[in-house]
């Protein structure tokens, strides 16, 4: 099946945005997607997933559920946007609003993108503790992208620029070693992949082509190297023949002027992590678990390579991987615990020795299994309690019992109750690198935004039909 038509381009775009199809996120296959930690509290783990946010105040011994209705302010569709700020506050949302919690997920206030027809695309934290926000509107059938900056954790926003050169912007990242360097990935009105590069914190951009990226191979920034602002990794989300998942990793060492491919496999490149010393990279291929999309099960897993002039990726673990994070404690990995062909013994695991090989027996110790997720704290009830007991607990095969739930999510390090988890992975508070987590980094529009998404793609018209690539 060839994907050269407008219909095919629209299908590929929607797949890339929604990852597992247009469906209520609580109805999707339960997968963890991004692991973060509180810089003030090494025992607090925060895990974004397809069914909400999970919070642990005791190094993973217990995880409690924060439902989408709490942090998204709506019954939303898509994957959550989540960041933990240096002062411990959380920013989260799903497309139509950005919300902030100062008590580790119990209460939320809207801080951005609350206007009609405005959507949050992505966030990035800068090295000097600012927050950059990429948002867009589509009142006229054409996407208008805006970059804003906040120096007070989202209480106020200052406009920086409009990205007039892109038809659709997908991801945003600031270089850790140079806060003035900002990257935005997306594609132009001709359907070709673009990287927008700024050296003045987003006031002005130059638009550079990404060879190998297009509307059919959508580009998402995986990471900017922590020590080199010109060193950028980009992942492309694409479909091959017969609707086969076929993601690739590209690299630029000259600030986007040139790109070269590093690896392509028959799955979704969901995981990306740089080692704390910046000398190695690990990537994880998983399965979008959509019935219409084919996957090469043998290609799924973790691949590792030294960072050098010539990358050499070696497969070191077999599983459907949905996130990676590499810290001083080791390599964390999210897996599809109940994948139909590659079941895993954990939803989140930790390999304390990241040098493991494919022949290493059981390199990961389980940190979380889906069935061990506990219901929401009392501070999130009744809305989250209803969501938990009506569907989420049964989907995870977890206990639906809410008796004995803690009053709060124990912000500040106080554990929320007796344990029951496995392992004691303590994240080092010195771990400042945020190149791990979910390389997918997709910020899909909510259901109300789907119509505007479709109309914008259709507006590309004849030019898009001429330039959209056939699947490889």
pLDDT higher than threshold 70 for residue 366? yes
Using pLDDT thresholds of 50, 70 and 90, give the confidence band for residue 10: very low
pLDDT higher than threshold 70 for residue 422? no
Domains recognised in the chain with CATH numbers: 6-266+370-391+407-467 (2.120.10.30)
Q: Which pLDDT value is given to residue 309?
A: 85
The mean per-residue pLDDT over the stretch 310-330 comes to 95
Instruction: Judge contact between 213 and 443, C-beta under 8 A.
Output: no
C-alpha 365/C-alpha 347 separation (Å) is: 11
**DSSP state for residue 154 in the 8-state scheme:** T
pLDDT higher than threshold 80 for residue 231? yes
Q: How many CA within 13 A on the CB side of residue 118?
A: 14
The mean per-residue pLDDT over the stretch 260-264 comes to 97
Least confident of 38-52, 87-101, 190-204, 450-464: 450-464
Instruction: Judge contact between 138 and 448, C-beta under 8 A.
Output: no
C-alpha 369/C-alpha 132 separation (Å) is: 34
Instruction: Judge contact between 346 and 368, C-beta under 8 A.
Output: yes
Q: Three-state secondary structure along 4-37?
A: CCHHHHHHHHHHHHHCCCCCCHHHCCCCEEEEEE
109-150 tens-digit pLDDT? 988 866 667 788 899 999 999 999 999 888 777 888 999 999
Using pLDDT thresholds of 50, 70 and 90, give the confidence band for residue 322: very high
Q: Which pLDDT value is given to residue 143?
A: 85
The mean per-residue pLDDT over the stretch 278-293 comes to 93
Distances in whole angstroms, Cα of residue 445 to Cα of each of 23, 76, 173, 348, 448: 12, 9, 19, 27, 8
Q: Which pLDDT value is given to residue 382?
A: 87
459-471 tens-digit pLDDT? 333 222 222 222 2
More confident residue, 48 or 94: 48
Task: Report pTM.
Answer: 0.83
Q: Which pLDDT value is given to residue 6?
A: 29
Q: Which residues lie below 8 Å from residue 189, measured CB to CB, with a gap of 6+?
A: 167, 460, 463, 464
* CA dihedral sign, ordered 333, 334, 336, 337: positive
């Amino acid at each position: 099946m060839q994907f050269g038509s407008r219909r095919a381009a629209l299908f590929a775009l929607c797949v890339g945005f929604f990852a597992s199809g247009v469906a209520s996120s609580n109805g999707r296959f339960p997968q963890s997607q991004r692991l973060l930690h509180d810089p003030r509290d090494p025992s607090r783990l925060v895990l974004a997933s397809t069914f909400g946010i999970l919070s642990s105040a005791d190094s993973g011994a217990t995880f409690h559920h924060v439902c989408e209705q709490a942090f998204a302010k709506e019954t939303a569709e898509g994957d959550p946007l989540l960041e933990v700020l240096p002062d411990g506050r959380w920013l989260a949302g799903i497309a139509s609003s950005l919300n902030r919690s100062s008590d580790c997920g119990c209460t939320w206030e809207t801080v951005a993108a609350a206007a009609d027809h405005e959507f949050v695309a992505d966030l990035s934290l800068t090295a000097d503790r600012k927050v950059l926000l990429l948002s867009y509107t589509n009142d006229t059938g054409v996407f208008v992208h805006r970059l804003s900056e906040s120096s007070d954790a989202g209480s106020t926003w200052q406009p920086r620029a409009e990205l007039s050169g892109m038809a659709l912007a997908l991801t945003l990242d600031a270089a850790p070693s140079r806060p003035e360097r900002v990257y935005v990935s997306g594609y132009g009105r001709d359907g070709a992949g673009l990287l927008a590069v700024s050296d003045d914190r987003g006031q002005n951009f130059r638009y550079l082509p990404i060879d190998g990226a297009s509307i059919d191979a959508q580009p998402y920034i995986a990471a900017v190297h922590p020590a080199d602002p010109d060193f950028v990794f980009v992942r492309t989300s694409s479909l091959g023949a017969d609707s086969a998942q076929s993601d690739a990793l590209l690299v630029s060492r000259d600030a986007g002027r040139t790109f070269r491919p590093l690896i392509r496999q028959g799955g979704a490149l969901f995981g990306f992590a740089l080692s704390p010393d910046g000398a190695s990279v690990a990537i994880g291929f998983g399965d979008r678990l959509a019935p219409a999309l084919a996957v090469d099960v043998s290609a799924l897993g973790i691949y590792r390579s030294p960072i050098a002039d010539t990358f050499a990726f070696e497969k070191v673990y077999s599983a459907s991987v949905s996130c990676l994070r590499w810290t001083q404690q080791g390599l964390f990995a999210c897996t599809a615990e109940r994948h139909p062909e590659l079941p895993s013994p954990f939803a989140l695991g930790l390999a304390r020795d990241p040098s493991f090989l494919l022949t290493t027996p059981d390199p990961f110790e389980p940190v979380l299994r889906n069935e061990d997720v506990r219901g929401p704290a009392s501070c999130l009830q009744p809305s989250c309690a209803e969501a938990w007991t009506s569907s989420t607990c049964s989907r995870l095969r977890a206990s639906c019992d809410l008796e004995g739930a803690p009053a709060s999510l124990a912000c500040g390090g106080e554990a929320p109750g007796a344990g029951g988890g496995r392992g004691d992975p303590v994240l080092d508070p010195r771990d400042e690198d945020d190149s791990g987590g979910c390389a997918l980094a997709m910020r899909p529009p909510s259901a109300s935004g789907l119509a505007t998404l479709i109309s914008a793609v259709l507006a590309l018209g004849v030019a898009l039909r001429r330039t959209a690539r056939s699947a490889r």
